[in-house]
A = this chain, B = another copy of it.
Amino acid sequence: MLKVNAFQAEQADALGAAERSMIERRQRLLGPAYQLFYDHPLHLVRGAGTWLYDREGAAYLDLYNNVASIGHSHPRVVEALTRQAAQLNTHTRYLHEGVLDYAEKLLATMPPELGNVMFTCTGSEANDLALRIARDYSGGTGVIVTRYAYHGMTASIAELSPSVGDYVPLGRDIRVVDAPLHDPADPARVGRLFAAQVRAALADMRRHGIKPAALLVDTLFTSDGVFADPPGFLREAVEAVRAAGGLFIADEVQPGFARTGTHMWGFQRHGLVPDLVTLGKPMGNGHPLAGLTVRPEILARFGRNASYFNTFGGNPVSAAVGLAVLQVIEEEGLQENARHVGAQLKEGLEGLAQGHACLGQVRGAGLFLGVDVLDAQGAADGASARRIVNLLRDEHMLIGVAGAQNNVLKIRPQLCFSAENVEQFLAALERVLGRR
């Protein structure tokens, strides 16, 4: 996933001298492990709502950045950040109302069984901590993930994030299953097949003397290519894992915070209550804020032996920002907007797919959609997906790609995306498809 759309200096055409020197400076300072989006990288200087602006003031419609989920530079977030940073920024070893108010508000969005919350700074740290807790509680080490999953970049989480690439070997106790492939002809089959794979992975662990710790999945399977339907398909697999003594960890870094439209959390679409839920990206609208919620009876064991301290995690400023984000989602009706505008966007994409053979299935929920790009034989076509993404960039429309073959258009605009924005995007996509 990470090398996709990566910019290599030698491929650059049409770059201005200023950009070229900026790219050189960047490579000199930050080194070779950093990547840029697009064949022609973007130099952005301002953001507001669903729009990003470059140096010349040109506007780009953002259908990619789910981090600034409630809108770029949202004034409520800036205000909360400023107010609390001017007052106090310490840590959780002193008492502070802010982190408690935020914890309460956040937990109130989840099923009551998930009674405790812990704060980190990144989704990687959240998954890293969730795994430590799950392994401690279960006494197991085995983890089941999907074939092109991404859960983070710490050493222990990179080894169960297959999409990171071959240079990080999967851990010995990790087992990989295919994402639950969309099957409109026989929706009931999706969950059955997924559960069968999970049961086979559990049997394989047993045969190798590995005790299972957890099934860890992004509840929208976004890196795998966005697999959302039918709601409920996760249930049978989760039952199998629990029967074998493992926990279910819902990675909500992508689907969470109202993105799916019908629910605040992706796992709710499946009628499940996870054992742990990990949170990240949109949680602070760009401020480094992440965390997890967990059933108290699971945390009790970990807490008996272990203390956890994250210097910046749950500090008063982060808590104030997190609270502002939750308030904005509620007050601006962003979940409802995601449902409503997401449905409109999906319908529009399905319409375009009807008329263009290169577009296949349109999948997703709310404002996280994936569209297969196919070649003339109907096979996955990563090169064409990449071309569409770059042509859209030149149309000032920002999207990305997902999936093991990089052939799924990844469309996840801000939650405040409007009906007008949908029309603007569909018109641009139609132009791009016509030009191919």
Contact = CB atoms under 8 A, between A and B. Distances in A.
Interface in A83-110: 85-97, 99-100, 103-104, 107
A93 B306 CA distance: 37
A-B pairs, top 4 by smallest CB distance, nearest first, are: A32-B303, A89-B286, A31-B116, A155-B156
Given A29-B117, A31-B300, A153-B309, 15 more contacts: A19-B95, A29-B104, A29-B107, A30-B92, A32-B303, A33-B308, A37-B94, A44-B90, A52-B88, A67-B89, A73-B85, A122-B310, A125-B125, A153-B308, A281-B311
Interface in A279-326: 280-281, 285-289, 294, 296, 299-300, 302-315, 317-318
A303 B35 CA distance: 10
A23 interface: yes
Contacts of A305: 165, 167
Given A26-B95, A78-B82, A154 B167 contact: no
A52 B72 CA distance: 33
Range of interface residues on A (Cβ < 8 Å): 35 or more
A330 B286 CA distance: 28
- How many chain copies does the complex carry? 2
B26 A286 contact: no
Chain A contact surface mostly: mixed
Interface string A69-87: 0001101011001100111
B125 A33 contact: no
Given A65-B90, A131-B155, A95 B44 contact: yes
